[in-house]
Amino acid sequence: MKCVLDDFLDKVICGDSAEVLKNIPDNSVDFILTSPPYDNLRSYKGFVFDFETIAKELQRVLKNGGVLVWIVGDATINGSETLSSFRQALFFQSIGLNCHDTMIYQKNNFSNPSQTRYHQIFEYMFVFSKGKPKTFNPIKDRKNIYVGYSTLGENTTRKADGGFSKNGKRTIQEYGMRYNIWKGNTAGQENMCKHIAHPAQFPLWLARDNIISWTNENDVVLDPFMGGGTTGCACKELGRHFIGIEIEPTYCQLSTERIQNHKCCAPELPLK
Ligand SMILES: C[S@@+](CC[C@H](N)C(=O)[O-])C[C@H]1O[C@@H](n2cnc3c(N)ncnc32)[C@H](O)[C@@H]1O
C-alpha cells in the first residue's frame, strides 16, 4: 500500500532510516534537522547506519527549496581526526544539494579536556538546500552597540561590472542578524541537575533556532535520527509538524513520551 505524508506526521517511527525513509513521498518535507551518529563516538547499542542510502533518501524526500541541517563532529582515531563530516558534506553535494552555509555550533563547555591541543568545543552545522532556500527567517538578536546612529559613509554594493551602486545611509537598528557561529549551552547545561536519558542530545535552543530560521508554521520537519526527541519538542513549541525516525526501541519510547509531556514555550526572540 502506498503511504501518504499524513501517515508519518507527529510520530516517532521506530526503525532504520534507510528503510523507513523509502516510504515517505518524494518532495514532501520542508526541512530536515538532524545529528547523525558519528564515528562511533558514542555507542548506540551497536547500531550502524548506512550513510549513503540515507543521504540519497533525504535528498529525495526534501521539497525543492527545502533545507537540511546536518549537525556533526569528528572522532579522533589513532591521533587523527576522521574528517567523516567533510566526506559526508561532499557526498551531499555530489547528489545535488547545495552547500548553502557551513555553520558552527559552539558549545559553552567541552566534554574531553585535551592535553596536546586546544579544547574541542564545536560541531559543524552544514546547511544544505535543494535549490535556493524557500524560507529564511533570520534571527536578529545580536545587539548593536551603535543603535540609533546612522552609518557614516554611503552604503555600497559592488556590481558585476566592478562598479558600485549606492544604497544611501542607514540608521542602525537595535538588533542585527546573528552570525553563522551559534554559541550556547549544551543539552547537559540546559538541563542542569536533571537526568538526560539519551547520551547525545542536542540542546533545545539549537533545534528551535534552526526551525525558526528555515521553516514557517505548519511546515513539516524530519529528523531521521530522533534520539531523545529534541526536534519534536521544538516543533511542538513552534507549531510545526515533525516526523521522527529512531532505530533503538527504548529511544523511540523515550522521545515519544518526552514530546507528549513537553510543555515549555519558546522564549520571545527579537525577530525583526
Ligand atoms: C546523535 S543521536 C540524535 C540525538 C537527537 N538529536 C536528540 O537531540 O536527542 C543519533 C541517534 O540516531 C539513532 N540511530 C542510529 N542509527 C540509526 C538508523 N539507521 N536509523 C535511525 N536512527 C538511528 C541512534 O540510536 C541515536 O539515538
H or E element at residue 209: helix 204-214
Same domain, 150 and 61: no
Host domain of residue 215: 6-141+178-261
Query: How many CB atoms sit inside 10 A of residue 236's CB?
Result: 20
Q: How far, in Å, from the CA of 228 to the mean position of ligand 1?
A: 8
Rounded to two decimals, what is the model's pTM?
A: 0.90
| 202 assigned to some structural domain | yes
Name the domain count of the chain: 2
3-state secondary structure of 87: helix
Identity of the residue numbered 99:
C
Distance CA 258, CA 255 (A): 5
Q: Give the pLDDT mean for 45-65.
A: 88
| 271 assigned to some structural domain | no
- End position of a domain, from candidates 154, 176, 198: 176
Bridge partners, 184 (sequence order): 107
Same domain, 184 and 154: no
Q: How far, in Å, from the CA of 161 to the mean position of ligand 1?
A: 49
Exposure class string for 128-155: b at 16+ Cβ within 10 A, else e: bbbeebbeeeebbeeeeeeeeeeeeeee
* Residue pLDDT, tens place only, 89-129: 999 999 999 999 999 999 998 877 888 899 999 999 999 99
Atom 16 of ligand 1: nearest residue by CA position? 49
Same domain, 89 and 152: no
Same domain, 124 and 95: yes
| 120 assigned to some structural domain | yes
Mean pLDDT of all residues belonging to the chain: 90
Atom 12 of ligand 1: nearest residue by CA position? 225
Q: Is 51 touching ligand 1 by the criterion CB < 6 Å?
A: no
Distance CA 173, CA 6 (A): 42
- Span of 48-52, 113-117, 165-169, 219-223 with lowest mean pLDDT: 165-169
User: What is the atom index within ligand 1 of the atom nearest the CA of 49?
Assistant: 19
| 37 assigned to some structural domain | yes
